[in-house]
């Protein structure tokens, strides 16, 4: 029976890689295996399991954070934020690229949706960077890497889902992700400054006359305030309410959704059509997440009924794999899986299978959650199959080739790998802020 459980896992992975819909493959194949190999009476335990997942209060944060991100995207704040930041940092070497990283981090903290951030940044900043004379490799590398910060910088949908699957407080994951996220942004900026100093022609500064002309505009202080401090205020309201204990992540997500509406109204971009569009996209993404979650719950139930989790724990113990070696093995599997399937499928298929073994090894699950998020972020950037590269290629001008994307992203992937190793060997970077 345990071997059949492993075959179930392999069958689902193969079919998903072959292109079958994830949600229906997870649920459908699991039911077929259960009908063939389990006692029919065991099915009575499945509906309560599904209802337990669907009534999970924490998961209400998912549609609210998605709504918040899409509403901010429609508000035009990203565009005005980038224009303002570019002028403020314009005279520095690589100033425009630094602005893109900072705006990417702020958008990540506002949306938590990688695809939306990469596409938005690509549409807004890539034509500007190319027009300013930036080397295509540097421009695309900066945009793709900044766009994926939404995987790790809270409030992140990835961290919400990981918290649910690993059964750890989402607030703890948010706290644990802050320092790695900030240090990662700093590392990106440091690399840009070094590259701009070494090769100024790859990252030219904005002419001083243009910056001075911007600063002489009427109400320039107010424009900077609107562009920069309002999104920052929203981020502080969401994360601050969680970290101070005033609100749960779900309640904070509600604050974020309301704040995004108010900011869109303030930008005079709010209308019934915008609201309908945001609600339609939110519903679409939320339904996708939850139908996969239902399939994953069915798979997890059948896999455990067959004793698959116990078998895996016994197999790892009998193989004398050290906790570190098992962690490396899991990280490699997740990294490779990230080339072919989305983070939602990885979180709902692979993580529940390995979580009991991490518990058996008495590893800190908050630390494991951050490692998985960083790993997925790195996988999203890595050639040849990185999802972020595909998102960016889809909105890039025709002169930007796939080779530009591949060459440009390599330094940022190396930075990510260094950070992943740092978090592995120095857990205090993650656990220092978690009480």
- Asked if the model's pLDDT at residue 333 lies above 70, the reply is yes
Q: What is the pLDDT of residue 385?
A: 64
320 burial via Cβ count (<10 Å: 0-12, 13-18, 19+): exposed
The Cα–Cα gap between 384 and 405 comes to 10
Question: What does the buried/exposed string (b/e) look like for 82-116 if buried means 16 or more CB atoms within 10 Å of the residue's CB?
Answer: bbbbbbbbbebbbbbbbbbbbbbbbbbbbbbbbbb
DSSP classification of residue 205 = P
pLDDT at 389: 80
205 in Cβ contact with 91 (< 8 Å):
yes
**Mean per-residue pLDDT for 51-57?**
75
Residue 355 three-state SS: helix
pLDDT at residue 265, rounded to an integer: 86
Confidence class for position 109, pLDDT limits 50, 70, 90: low
Determine the Cα–Cα distance for residues 388 and 25; give it in Å rounded to an integer. Answer: 25
CA 76 – CA 89 distance, rounded (Å): 20
pLDDT at 395: 75
Q: How confident is the model at residue 113 (pLDDT cuts 50, 70, 90)?
A: low
Place of tokens 């259960």: 34
Query: 393 vs 49, 113, 120, CA distance in Å?
Result: 41, 17, 12
3-state SS class at 173: helix
Burial class (CB in 10 A: 0-12, 13-18, 19+), 33: buried
Q: Which two tokens stand for residue 427?
A: 């857990």
Q: Is the dihedral of CA 79, 397, 100, 367 positive or negative?
A: positive
**pLDDT-wise least confident of 6-10, 115-119, 121-125:** 115-119
For residues 139 and 181, give the distance between their C-alpha atoms in angstroms, rounded to a whole number. 21
pLDDT value, residue 263: 83
CA angle 165, 169, 175 (to 5 degrees): 120
- Residue 210 scores a pLDDT above 80: no
In the numeric block, the tokens 């990662």 are attached to: 184
Residues 83, 227: contact at Cβ < 8 Å? Answer: yes
Does the pLDDT of residue 281 top 80, yes or no?
A: yes
Mean confidence (pLDDT) of the chain: 82
pLDDT at 63 over 80: yes
Classify the C-alpha dihedral 421-427-431-432 as positive or negative.
negative
CA angle 379, 417, 312 (to 5 degrees): 65
pLDDT at 288 over 80: no
Predicted pLDDT of residue 340 = 64
Most confident region among 86-95, 173-182, 263-272 by mean pLDDT: 173-182
CB 394, CB 402: distance < 8 Å: no
pLDDT value for 435: 58
Q: Which of 107-111, 161-165, 190-194, 341-345 has the lowest mean pLDDT?
A: 107-111
pLDDT at 287 over 80: yes
More confident residue, 205 or 341: 205
Instruction: Report the first-to-last Cα separation within the chain, whole angstroms.
Output: 42
- DSSP letter, residue 228: I
Residue 156, CA distances (Å) to 139, 159, 253, 398 in order: 25, 5, 11, 32
Read off the DSSP letter of residue 196.
H
| Percent over 90 (pLDDT), the chain | 6
By the 10 Å C-beta count (0-12 exposed, 13-18 middle, 19+ buried), 421 is classed as exposed
Tokens representing residue 191 in the block: 């690399």
């Amino acid at each position: 029976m345990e071997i059949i459980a492993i075959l179930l896992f392999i069958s689902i992975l193969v079919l998903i890689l072959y292109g079958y819909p994830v949600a229906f493959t997870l649920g459908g194949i699991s039911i077929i295996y259960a009908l063939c190999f389990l006692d029919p009476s065991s099915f009575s335990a499945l509906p309560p399991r599904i209802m337990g997942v669907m009534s999970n209060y924490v998961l209400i944060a998912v549609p609210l954070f998605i709504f918040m991100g899409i509403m901010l995207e429609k508000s035009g704040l990203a565009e005005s934020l980038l224009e303002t930041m570019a002028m403020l940092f314009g005279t520095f070497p690589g100033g425009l690229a630094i602005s893109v990283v900072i705006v990417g981090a702020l958008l990540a903290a506002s949306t938590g949706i990688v695809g939306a951030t990469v596409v938005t940044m690509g549409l807004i900043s890539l034509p500007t960077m190319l027009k300013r004379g930036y080397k295509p490799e540097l421009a695309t590398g900066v945009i793709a890497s900044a766009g994926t910060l939404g995987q790790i910088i809270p409030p992140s949908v990835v961290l919400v889902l990981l918290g649910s699957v690993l059964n750890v407080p989402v607030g703890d994951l948010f706290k644990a992700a802050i320092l790695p996220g900030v240090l990662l942004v700093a590392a990106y900026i440091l690399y840009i400054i070094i590259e701009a100093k070494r090769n100024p022609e790859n990252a030219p500064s904005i002419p001083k006359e243009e910056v001075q002309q911007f600063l002489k505009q009427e109400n320039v202080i107010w424009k900077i305030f609107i562009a920069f401090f309002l999104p920052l205020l929203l981020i502080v309201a969401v994360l601050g309410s969680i970290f101070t204990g005033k609100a749960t992540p779900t309640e904070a997500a509600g604050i974020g959704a309301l704040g995004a509406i108010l900011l869109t109204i303030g930008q005079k971009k709010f209308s019934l059509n915008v609201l309908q569009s945001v609600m339609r996209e939110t519903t679409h993404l939320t339904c996708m997440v939850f139908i996969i979650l239902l399939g994953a719950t069915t798979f997890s139930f059948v896999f455990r009924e067959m004793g698959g989790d116990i078998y895996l724990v016994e197999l790892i113990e009998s193989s004398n794999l050290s906790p570190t070696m098992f962690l490396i093995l899991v990280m490699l599997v997740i990294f490779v899986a990230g080339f072919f399937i989305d983070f939602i499928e990885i979180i709902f298929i692979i993580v529940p299978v390995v979580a009991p073994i991490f518990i058996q090894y008495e590893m800190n699950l908050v630390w494991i959650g951050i490692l998985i998020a960083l790993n997925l972020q790195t996988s999203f950037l890595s050639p040849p199959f990185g999802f972020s590269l595909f998102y960016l290629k889809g909105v890039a001008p025709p002169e930007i080739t796939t080779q530009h994307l591949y060459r440009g992203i390599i330094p940022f992937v190396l930075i990510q790998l260094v950070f992943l190793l740092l978090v592995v060997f120095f857990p205090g970077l993650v656990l220092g802020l978690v009480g």
